[in-house]
A and B are shown apart, each in its own frame.
Chain A
Amino acid sequence: MKLVIVSYFLFIAASTHMLYQEKSKAESIEAGAEIYQDFCVQCHLNTGAGVSGVFPPLKNSDYLLNNIDKSIAGLKFGLRGKIVVNEETYDGVMANQGLDTEEIADVMNYILNQWGNAFEGQITPSQVNEVQKSLLD
């Protein structure tokens, strides 16, 4: 009986773990690539280079790599007004794309690890969840 109870709880614990297991970094990047093709590529382009003066670059972008939480906030809430990226000023609007927290984490992991960008850690949905709109003020 004891064995049954123990194995039952083990089973529950294991399946809960399975259900809530977060994606590996590689899986997140792969999912992010699809999101990027759907929502981002029209402006930031396949090369991540953007269009000078109109759409800021993501490739080797000091703004992105030095302001990760702010970049997440931009994806979550939309971004407007002046930003300086690699010494060039951009003054446009990036609309809120309606992505959920997991999709934002995935696309962040993708752009942080593409075109020669490299980011050691992994952006998680819970990190995205915690980012506040006030960061953009």
Chain B
Amino acid sequence: MKIYFYSSLLFFFSIQLSCAQDNPPLIETPTELNYRYETVVDGIDIPWGLAFISKDDFLVTEKSGTLYRVVKGVKTAVDGLPEVYVRGQGGLLDVALHPEYSSNKIIYLTLSANTEGDSEGGNTSLYCAKLEEHALQEVKLLYKATPNTKKGQHWGSRIVFDNEGHLYFGVGDRGNREENPQDLSRDGGKIYRLNLDGSIPQDNPFVGKENAKEAIFSYGHRNPQGMVTHPKTGEIWEHEHGPMGGDEINIIKAGINYGWPTITYGINYSGTPITDKTSLPDMAQPFYYWVPSIGPSGMAFSTSGVYSDWTDNLFAGSLKFEYLERLVIEKNKVVKREKVLDKIGRVRDVVEGPDGYLYVSVEGKGILKIIPTK
């Protein structure tokens, strides 16, 4: 009898091992909601990125190539944008304000572009410009990833700043995982670090390394879709889409290889394996990984205390399951995951506004503000 018990235990254990397992903690759906939402602005198909100038004044990118300035709920298209190459997942991507925006009016944009005028597709670019009311002036290209390609996937890209005068942005692997992410002489599959004027910091990890693109800060990324500066530590937090399974949260450090596609917790969309390795000694493990994939997009910490029990929680949109995810982190570990705004639609971005409220951009809906009811 005892042998039977142990052998069946072994049997069930081996079955469990052989199936792709959901990575804990499992997502929870709260039974009681202590928030509601209101629509701040609507009529935007794919509101990709969001940046606040003040509580009632913010910028929204629409992926197909329009930058809106929304003042007190009224949206106006901004003139003078560089030409956007719209293809696949590419288009007008993120927008961010210079840390000293209030005095210099400088904004940054990432977008898909073909600045070379060749016929071979496009790649991710970073621009800066001065925003004067509803027009961009002094538009300047700061970085252009090469080569252009007609592939539709994985352009990145978010823009964030550290507290030491650097700008970070990501470029996805551009649908070429065999060549780009692990090769420092190629763009794609990288997080880049620049000075605010677009020049390359001389203490970047690969400065002076032969053939390396010196703007690279970290590599081995697949498709960064969320980035935020940690409000307390000042570290750059990033999340990226894995293939099927294996979306990751990473804390970005200089010169580190995050492993794509040599190690991953995901598999091909066809169900075939990409690699049999989830770890290697010289490659960083993610801070957290999502299996199954949620298609994370946008990333923010709640710091304000506006929501009674959400302080210091991390938020990420889910494109795939159409909710905003709240992640509770304790002792450097994700200990709880919960759905906020369940079934709201594809969430592209989440930002903590200057008033401390969380603002969420949702495809087909626009920008929503989450308001506590308790």
Interface residues of A (CB under 8 A from B): 37-39, 41-42, 45-46, 51, 54, 78, 80-81, 91-93, 95-99
In angstroms, how far is the closest chain A Cβ from the Cβ of B241? 9
Q: How large is the interface on B (under 10, 10 to 19, 20 to 34, 35 or more residues)?
A: 20 to 34
Contacts of A41 in B (CB 8 A): 269
Interface residue SS majority, chain A: mixed
A45 touches B269 (CB 8 A): yes
Q: Using a CB–CB distance below 8 Å, which chain B residues touch chain A?
A: 45-46, 63-64, 85-88, 90-91, 151-153, 175, 269-271, 320-322, 345-346, 363-364
Q: List, in ascending order, chain A residues with CB within 8 A of B175's CB.
A: 38
Residue of A nearest to B45 (CB): A93
A-side contacts of B63, CB under 8 Å:
95
Give A45 to B269 CA distance when docked, in angstroms: 7
Instruction: Give the tally of cross-chain contacts (CB within 8 A).
Output: 53
A113, B88: Cα distance in complex, Å: 22
Contact partners of A42 in chain B: CB under 8 A = 153, 269
Collect the chain A residues with CB atoms within 8 Å of residue B271's CB.
46
Which of B63, B87, B321, B345 has the most chain A CB within a 10 Å cutoff? B87
* B-chain residues with CB within 8 Å of residue A46 when the two chains form the complex: 269-271
Chain A, Cβ-Cβ closest to B87: A98
Cβ B88 vs Cβ A92 within 8 A: no
Alpha-carbon separation in the docked complex, A42 to B222 (Å): 14
Q: Chain A contacts of B64 at CB under 8 A? A: 78, 95-96
Given A38-B175, A39-B152, A92-B346, residue A54 in contact with residue B320 (CB < 8 A): yes
Q: Could you tell me the distance between the alpha carbons of A68 and B285 in the complex, rounded to whole angstroms?
A: 46
* B270–A92 CB distance below 8 A: no
- Contact for A92 among B86, B91, B151, B364, CB less than 8 A: B364
What would 27 A/B residue contacts be, using CB atoms closer than 8 Å? A37-B269, A38-B151, A38-B152, A38-B153, A38-B175, A39-B152, A39-B153, A42-B269, A45-B269, A46-B269, A46-B270, A54-B322, A54-B346, A78-B45, A81-B364, A91-B364, A92-B345, A92-B346, A92-B364, A93-B45, A93-B363, A95-B46, A95-B63, A95-B64, A97-B152, A98-B85, A99-B87
